[in-house]
Structure 1
Amino acid sequence: MTANAACAGAPSGDAGHWHDIYWAKCYREVRRLQTRIFKATKEGRWGKVKALQWLLTHSFNGKALAVRRVTENHGKKTPGVDKVTWSTPDAKYRAIKHLSRHGYAPRPLRRIYIPKSNGKMRALGIPTVISYCTSAS
């Protein structure tokens, strides 16, 4: 076996670390898949839509952008019911690796109230970061 044999196959998009992710490529690939889903929906090709949705939800790029959207916004320091936040680059990268739909069970939202400008309170539902897993892990 030669050294080049280890590089065979399609690249996974896996950068190895949070700061090594090429975000422009992630946005481009996710946008491309979303466009293909839109076109397939418009044409009524529901099998193709389902297959493309599966590709999007299982792709490294889709998961990376999902984690980035949750962890790099104004509410990133507010934990959900589970009291977990992904604040370090290593935690964010591990989150990408652990995102899966297998064994998923949704958790309730954490309900808090924030003050409005007129003095009343507005309800805010904060989702959890990690969901329940039906199997023991």
Structure 2
Amino acid sequence: MNQAKPFCIPKLEVVEAYERVKANKGAAGVDGQSIEEFESNLKDNLYKLWNRMSSGSYFPPPVMRVEIPKGDGRMRPLGIPTVS
């Protein structure tokens, strides 16, 4: 018997989301994984991410908080997410 996933998430949307993350050229998050490391097994990583999301078992990891300087000398908090 072929059981349907509880959430209908097109695989193309996961690929497009990954492409937006890559285009952002951000730093690695709390897991330390860079875009390059994620890409070393891209097809499998995107499939695993899609599978967890569509089955309802995906919970995003915490965001890494850093502070960046503003033009007036104060600091601005910034949240850096993980790739997956």
Q: CA deviation at 1:108?
A: 1.3
**Once the two structures are superposed, what CA deviation does each residue of 1:26-71 show, in whole Å capped at 9, x if it has no partner?**
xxxxxxxxxxxxxxxxxxxxxxxxxxxx43x2x1211110111111
Superposed, 1:110-125 pairs within 5 Å as: 110-125=64-79
Take 1:129 and 1:74, find their aligned partners in 2: how far apart are those partners?
11
TM-score normalised per structure 2: 0.70
**Once the two structures are superposed, what CA deviation does each residue of 1:52-100 show, in whole Å capped at 9, x if it has no partner?**
xx43x2x12111101111112232xx01010012226444333321112
Superposed, 1:6-45 pairs within 5 Å as: none
Superposed, 1:52-71 pairs within 5 Å as: 54-55=7-8, 57=9, 59-71=10-22
RMSD (Å), alpha carbons: 1.9
Higher helix share: 1
Q: Which has the higher contact order (CA 8 A, sep 6+)?
A: 2
Question: Structure 2 regions of 5+ residues with no counterpart?
Answer: 1-6
Q: How many residues align?
A: 73
Note if 1:94 corresponds to 2:44.
Answer: yes
Question: Structure 1 regions of 5+ residues with no counterpart?
Answer: 1-53, 131-137
Identity of aligned residues (%): 34
Change (3 A) 1:118 1:84: same
